[in-house]
């Protein structure tokens, strides 16, 4: 399995592209579907034909684009190795396009695909101009040189090219290390009657197994020992899950409130906590900071 995330400005068609790729609805809440606005993280997956008799299983984390939901976006993209950066052909580069790019650059996401969406609303020249503008804006960032594809989710134009581009993207990703200590950043935490606490997240590498003893660490630095009661990946029960993967973990030893979004499940003793960090600004973020300081 490979795990990708979307990124981009609100109403640029990220969820529509996920539907076109997977045939699944990423917006989980009725309010999201009624308003046509993603408010929380969405999830979908599919098997993409490589055109040579093989297939790649790809899970997608669909993030909200509104400026109010940047923390939610960060929870979705943080552990994901590659991204679909979506920019509407008729809207072009917008504030959250830049904000999401800054976040991806800071996180060191180095693999991506630029998707010029809503291509049915402009002519071919306009779509090409948007793609060229985005390519220029990526210069000096971790996503510099990312390929692009022009798509209309409404008409279906370009969707086959999108599928092929995603297959090329995931096949170019470095392999995960199955021997690495597991580290699962949590993007959801809830309670299921009869099962108890369930958390979900993207496992970049390592292996989780039923019965594992793990350490849960909250954003506030609180630690507690927990045990893996059960595992699911893509709605299928599994005795173990190897990264990269989307995974749901049924936990023993913590309530949903004990392990909120932003917490992590770690191999015991594999991480140190600190209250101080050194921050080095790089790329476009550094350039803008220097400009603001008049340097």
pLDDT at position 170 is 96
Percentage of the chain with pLDDT > 90? 70
* For residue 27, pLDDT beyond 70: no
Q: Is residue 278 part of a domain?
A: no
* 13 and 127 assigned to the same domain: yes
Q: Between these two residues, 125 and 53, which has the higher pLDDT value?
A: 125
Picking from 45, 37, 109, the residue whose alpha carbon sits closest to that of residue 77 is 109
CATH number assigned to the domain comprising residue 139: 3.40.50.300
Cite the beta strand spans of the chain per DSSP E.
2-7, 42-49, 55-62, 82-88, 111-117, 148-150, 183-192, 196-203, 207-209, 213-217, 223-233, 236-238, 240-242, 245-252, 264-266
Number of compact structural domains in the chain: 2
CA–CA separation, 151 and 134 (whole Å) = 15
Q: Which two structure tokens, joined as six digits, stand for 218? A: 């909250």
Within this chain, do residues 191 and 102 fall inside the same structural domain, yes or no? no
Sign of CA dihedral 210, 211, 212, 214: positive
CA gyration radius, the chain: 19
Q: Are residues 84 and 221 in the same domain?
A: no
Model pLDDT, residue 34: 55
Do residues 125 and 251 both lie within one domain? no
- Residue where a domain stops, chosen among 123, 149, 171: 171
Q: How far from the centroid of its chain's Cα atoms is residue 215's Cα?
A: 24
117 DSSP β-pair partners: 88
State the helix-helix crossing angle for 95-107 and 124-137, rounded to 10 degrees: 40
Give the tens place of pLDDT for each residue, 184-226: 999 999 999 999 999 999 999 999 999 999 999 999 889 999 9
Report pTM.
0.89
Q: How far is C-alpha 64 from the chain's CA centre?
A: 11
The backbone torsions φ and ψ at residue 234, rounded to the nearest 5 degrees and listed phi first, read 55, 45
pLDDT at 39: 59
């Amino acid at each position: 399995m490979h795990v990708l995330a979307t990124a981009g400005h609100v109403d640029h068609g990220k969820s529509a592209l996920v539907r076109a790729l997977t045939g699944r609805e990423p917006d989980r809440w009725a309010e999201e579907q009624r308003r046509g606005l993603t408010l929380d993280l969405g999830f979908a997956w599919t098997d993409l034909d490589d055109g040579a008799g093989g297939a790649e299983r790809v899970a997608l984390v669909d993030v909200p684009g509104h400026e109010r939901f940047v923390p939610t976006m960060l929870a979705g993209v943080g552990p994901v190795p590659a991204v679909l950066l979506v920019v509407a052909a008729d809207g072009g580069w917008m504030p959250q396009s830049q904000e999401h790019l800054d976040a991806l650059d800071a996180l060191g996401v180095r693999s991506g695909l630029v998707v010029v969406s809503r291509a049915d609303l402009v002519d071919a020249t306009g779509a090409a101009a948007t793609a060229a503008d985005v390519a220029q804006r990526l210069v000096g960032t971790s996503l510099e040189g990312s390929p692009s594809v022009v798509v209309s989710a409404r008409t279906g134009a370009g969707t086959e090219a999108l599928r092929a581009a995603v297959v090329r993207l995931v096949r170019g990703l470095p392999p995960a290390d199955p021997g690495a200590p597991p580290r699962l950043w949590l993007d959801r935490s809830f309670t299921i009657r009869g099962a108890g606490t369930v958390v979900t997240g993207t496992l970049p590498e390592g292996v989780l197994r039923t019965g594992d003893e793990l350490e849960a660490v909250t954003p506030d630095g609180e630690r507690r020992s927990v045990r893996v009661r059960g595992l699911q990946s893509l709605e299928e029960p599994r005795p173990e899950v190897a990264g990269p993967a989307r995974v749901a973990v049924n936990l023993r030893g913590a309530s949903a409130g004990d392990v909120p979004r932003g917490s992590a499940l770690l191999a015991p003793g594999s991480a140190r906590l600190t209250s101080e960090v050194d921050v080095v600004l790089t790329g476009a973020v550094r350039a803008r900071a220097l400009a603001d300081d008049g340097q």
